[in-house]
Structure 1
Amino acid sequence: MNQEKEKRQKYDKEFKLEILRLVSEQKRPIAQVARDFGIGENTIYKWKKAFEEDPVNAFPGTGHLKPEDEQFRQLKRDLERVTEERDILKKALAIFSKTPR
């Protein structure tokens, strides 16, 4: 069975904000806006919810993380580095603690 994987459409921040402006300021129904732009209604509802919860960081875009996600990424890198340093020190300790024969 050979199925082609459908690519997800990506929308930039400005486009999402424009769609939400049509819905909120111009009072256009989400169903109508979704049909006009070929977007799923659920997608617009998700954008609306994300914007209402955190307008500043609602649509970070590719490569741009929310501050808490960036902090998590940095902490994970730090942990990996410290773990590697610890492993190196363990090996060095094992080598230098051997008694000469």
Structure 2
Amino acid sequence: MGATRRKFTPQYRRDAARLVIDSGRTARAVADEIGVGEQLLGRWVANERARMEDPPPAVDINERAELERLRAENTQLRMDREFLKKAAAFFAAENASNPTQRSR
């Protein structure tokens, strides 16, 4: 019987290729480390380099406006969250220092 073929997710392939690209190590060294074939990793690296050279897709004006709106909303929500965390900590500390008020 033949060995079953291993399958790798696209994310795993990209991450493995980035190990070679970003670290400057050889494909052979990384392939030995992660347990894949050198030629297979070499193909992943070539695909990743080609993908990196492709320009990002153009964003139309409506998408850009929506993106800016969502970023602003995200910033506001983060600030609200931080405020609520501080308020909750303040009231928790106040309740802990005044145990008699809880019995009311």
The normalised TM-score by structure 1 is: 0.46
Bigger CA radius of gyration: 2
The normalised TM-score by structure 2 is: 0.45
More helix by share: 2
